[in-house]
Structure 1
Amino acid sequence: MPHDPGPAFRALHIPGEPFILANAWDIGSAKMLAALGAPAIATSSAAHAFTLGRPDMGQVSRDEALAHAQSLVSAVTVPVSGDFENGFGDTPEICAETVKLACEAGLAGISIEDTALPDDTPYDAALATDRIRAACAAARSLPRDFVVVARADGVMNGHYTLAEAIRRIQAYEAAGADCVYIPLPPEFDDLKTICAATALPVNALAAGDFASHDKAAFAKSGVARISLGSALARVTHRAIFDAATQMFGDDRFDKLTNAMPGDKIDALLTK
Structure 2
Amino acid sequence: MQTSYSAAAFRELHHQATPLLLPNAWDAGSARLIESLGAAAIATTSAGVAWSLGYRDGNALPVEEYVARAASIARVISVPLSVDIEGGYADDPATVAETVTRLIDAGAVGINIEDGVGSPHLLCRKVEAARAAGERCGVPLYINVRTDVYARGLVPQEQRATEVLARAQGYRAAGADGLFVLGLVNTSEMSAIARDSGLLLNVIVWPDLPPLDVLAEFGVRRVSVGSWLPQTLWAHTEQLVRGFLRDNAIAPMMTDATPYSEVNAVF
TM-score over 0.5 (shorter chain): yes
Structure 1 match to 2:130: 135
Superposed CA deviations along residues 145-187 of structure 1, whole A, max 9, x for unmatched, are 2111111123212323343222112211122111111111263
Deviates more, 1:218-227 or 1:26-35: 218-227
- Counterpart contact for 1:242–1:255, Cα < 8 Å: no
Structure 2 match to 1:155: 150
Superposed CA deviations along residues 187-229 of structure 1, whole A, max 9, x for unmatched, are 355322321222221111124443xx43212222211111111
Query: Which has the larger share of helix?
Result: 2
- Counterpart contact for 1:81–1:109, Cα < 8 Å: yes
Structure 2 match to 1:2: 2
Report the Cα offset of residue 16 of structure 1. 5.3
1: CA distance, partners of 2:79 / 2:249: 41
Structure 1 match to 2:85: 84
Letter of the 1:49 partner, please give it. Answer: A
2: CA distance, partners of 1:56 / 1:71: 20
1:216 pairs with 2:213: yes
Structure 2 match to 1:64: 65
Letter of the 2:135 partner, please give it. Answer: R
2: CA distance, partners of 1:20 / 1:243: 30
After superposition, the Cα gap between the structure-2 partners of 1:174 and 1:70, relative to the gap in structure 1 and judged at 3 Å, is: same
Structure 2 match to 1:185: 184
Structure 2 match to 1:50: 51
- Counterpart contact for 2:164–2:193, Cα < 8 Å: no
1:247-266 maps to which residues of 2 (within 5 A)?
247-253=244-250, 255-256=252-253, 257-266=255-264
2: CA distance, partners of 1:109 / 1:37: 19
- Counterpart contact for 1:6–1:79, Cα < 8 Å: yes
Letter of the 1:153 partner, please give it. Answer: D
Letter of the 1:237 partner, please give it. Answer: W
Report the Cα offset of residue 232 of structure 1. 1.2
2: CA distance, partners of 1:16 / 1:40: 16
2: CA distance, partners of 1:134 / 1:51: 28
Letter of the 1:234 partner, please give it. Answer: Q
Identical aligned pairs, as a percentage? 33
- Counterpart contact for 1:183–1:205, Cα < 8 Å: yes
Q: What's the TM-score, normalizing by structure 2?
A: 0.88
Report the Cα offset of residue 233 of structure 1. 1.4
Structure 1 match to 2:101: 100
Report the Cα offset of residue 254 of structure 1. 5.1
1:230 pairs with 2:231: no
- Counterpart contact for 1:204–1:225, Cα < 8 Å: yes
Identify unmatched segments of 5+ residues in structure 1.
Answer: 116-121
Identify unmatched segments of 5+ residues in structure 2.
Answer: none
1: CA distance, partners of 2:221 / 2:245: 44
1: CA distance, partners of 2:27 / 2:51: 11
1: CA distance, partners of 2:224 / 2:83: 12
Q: Of the two structures, which has the highest relative contact order with CA contacts closer than 8 Å and spacing of 6 or more?
A: 1
> SS where residue 137 of structure 1 aligns?
helix
1: CA distance, partners of 2:134 / 2:77: 23
- Counterpart contact for 1:195–1:223, Cα < 8 Å: yes
The RMSD of aligned alpha carbons is 2.2
